Amino acid sequence: MESRYLLPHWLKSIGWIMFFPGLVLGIFSLFYNVEYDFLEGKVFTLFTGSGLDFKNEAGIRQYFIFVHGNYTNTLVGLFFLVALLLIAFSSEKEEDEFISSIRLNSLVWATYANYLVLIIGFLFFFGFEFLYVMIFNMYTTLIIFIIRFYFLMSRAKISRNEK
């Protein structure tokens, strides 16, 4: 079955190759505040400032400027996100209606689980800890989808082999 919205199958292996280094780098970056000096430099930003009015210390809003920063978190986040997207949305070698239904089931299930995590985050995490929940929540839909999809695929493979 030809699917227009799925990526080619060969991109899945590139996604898996990117996944593990992205996971390790993400853990070091997030939990141990590791930043690499060679990624230091001018960073483009849409606006600077803090608080709800997005004004800097001088009370000025600045838009579309370069500020000094570090690209570590940005690159690690992008690397991990691209890896997850390649794994999740690359086609299988043999894509058929059954696999499409497993894919849809997994995506709906992952969406429900993702919003459950978000609701728990809103109810039980406050302050800076809530930011961690939101960071994890950016990736949970794809992670849960991948886990659920491969779990259902392995179960279907086992039941097909038993027949």
Q: Is 95 exposed, middle or buried (0-12, 13-18, 19+ CB in 10 A)?
A: middle
Separation of first and last alpha carbons in the chain: 23
Q: Can you give the length of the chain in residues?
A: 163
Beta bridge partners of 90: 7
Give residue 51's pLDDT.
56
d(CA 35, CA 30): 10
Express each pLDDT in 141-159 by its tens digit. 999 999 999 999 999 887 7
Domain ranges of the chain: 1-91, 96-163
pTM, entire model: 0.84
Express each pLDDT in 88-112 by its tens digit. 999 999 888 999 999 999 999 999 9
Low-confidence ranges of the chain (pLDDT < 50): none
Q: Is 124 exposed, middle or buried (0-12, 13-18, 19+ CB in 10 A)?
A: exposed
CA 113 to chain CA centroid, Å, is: 15
DSSP string over 21-49: HHHHHHHHHHHS----GGGEEEEEEEEE-
For residue 67, the surrounding DSSP H or E stretch is: strand 62-70
Give residue 119's pLDDT.
95
